[in-house]
Amino acid sequence: MRPPSRILLLGMGFFLTLAACATVSEMAGAPPRSPFESLVAPHRERAAALEAQGNLREALNEWKVALSVDPKDAISTQAKSKLEERVKQAVSDGLGQGREALKRGVNLEARRHFLAALALDPSNKAAFEALQTEAKEIRLLNHTVRKGDTLASIAELFYGDRSRAEVIWETNQLPANPKLTPGMVLKIPEIPGVPFVRPEAAPRETRVPGDSPSVPPKAEPAEEEEVDTNPMLAEAREALERGEFASAIGGVDKFLAQNPRNPEGVELKRTVLYRQGKVLLDQKKYADSYEALTQLAKLAPNYQDSSTLLGRAKARLVQDHYNQGIRLYREEKLDAAIAEWRTVLQYEPSHEAAKKNIEQAERLLKGLQQRQQKRKQG
Would 194 be classed as within a structural domain? yes
Paired residues of 185 in beta bridges = 144
pTM strictly above 0.85 = no
Would 4 be classed as within a structural domain? no
Measured CA to CA, the distance from residue 114 to residue 308 in angstroms comes to 13
Work out the widest C-alpha separation in the chain, in whole angstroms. Answer: 105
Would 219 be classed as within a structural domain? no
Domain range for residue 69? 34-103
Would 40 be classed as within a structural domain? yes
Beta-carbon-side half-sphere exposure of residue 57 (alpha carbons within 13 Å) = 19
- Tell me which long-range contacts 365-369 makes (C-beta under 8 A, separation of at least 24): 365/334, 365/335, 365/338, 367/10, 368/6, 368/7, 368/10, 368/334
Last residue of a domain, one of 47, 76, 103: 103
CATH of the domain at 39: 1.25.40
The Cβ of residue 136 has, within 10 Å, a number of other Cβ atoms equal to 11
Would 1 be classed as within a structural domain? no
Question: In terms of pLDDT, which residue wins out, 32 or 66?
Answer: 66
What does the pLDDT look like over 136-167, one tens digit per residue?
A: 666 678 888 888 888 888 888 887 878 778 77
Same structural domain, 175 and 300: no
The mean pLDDT of 240-256, rounded to a whole number, is 85
Same structural domain, 265 and 347: yes
Measured CA to CA, the distance from residue 170 to residue 237 in angstroms comes to 34
Same structural domain, 369 and 286: yes
Q: Which residues contact 11 (CB under 8 A, 6 or more apart)?
A: 364
CATH of the domain at 175: 3.10.350.10
Q: How far is CA 325 from the centre of its chain?
A: 24
Secondary structure, 3-state, the chain: CCCCCHHHHHCHHHHHHHHHHHHHHHHCCCCCCCCCHHHHHHHHHHHHHHHHHCCHHHHHHHHHHHHHHCCCCHHHHHHHHHHHHHHHHHHHHHHHHHHHHHHCCCHHHHHHHHHHHHHHCCCCHHHHHHHHHHCCCCCEEEEECCCCCCHHHHHHHHHCCHHHHHHHHHHCCCCCCCCCCCCCEEEEECECCECCCCHHHCCCCCCCCCCCCCCCCCCCCCCCCCCCCCHHHHHHHHHHHCCCHHHHHHHHHHHHHHCCCCHHHHHHHHHHHHHHHHHHHHCCCHHHHHHHHHHHHHHCCCCCCHHHHHHHHHHHHHHHHHHHHHHHHHCCCHHHHHHHHHHHHHHCCCCHHHHHHHHHHHHHHHHHHHHHHHHHHC
Write down how long the chain is: 378
Confidence at residue 113, expressed as pLDDT on a 0 to 100 scale:
82
Would 47 be classed as within a structural domain? yes
Same structural domain, 320 and 238: yes
Q: With 80 as the cut, is the pLDDT of residue 271 above it?
A: yes
Residue 46: pLDDT band with limits 50, 70, 90: confident
Q: Which residues contact 369 (CB under 8 A, 6 or more apart)?
A: none
Same structural domain, 262 and 325: yes
Q: Give the type of residue at 268.
A: L
Measured CA to CA, the distance from residue 179 to residue 175 in angstroms comes to 9
Measured CA to CA, the distance from residue 4 to residue 26 in angstroms comes to 28
Measured CA to CA, the distance from residue 252 to residue 201 in angstroms comes to 34
Would 19 be classed as within a structural domain? no
* Whether 115 contacts 308, CB under 8 Å: yes
What does the pLDDT look like over 311-359, one tens digit per residue?
A: 889 988 898 898 888 888 888 888 888 899 999 998 889 888 888 889 8
Confidence at residue 28, expressed as pLDDT on a 0 to 100 scale:
38
Three-point CA angle 294, 300, 306, nearest 5° = 60
Residue 290: pLDDT band with limits 50, 70, 90: very high
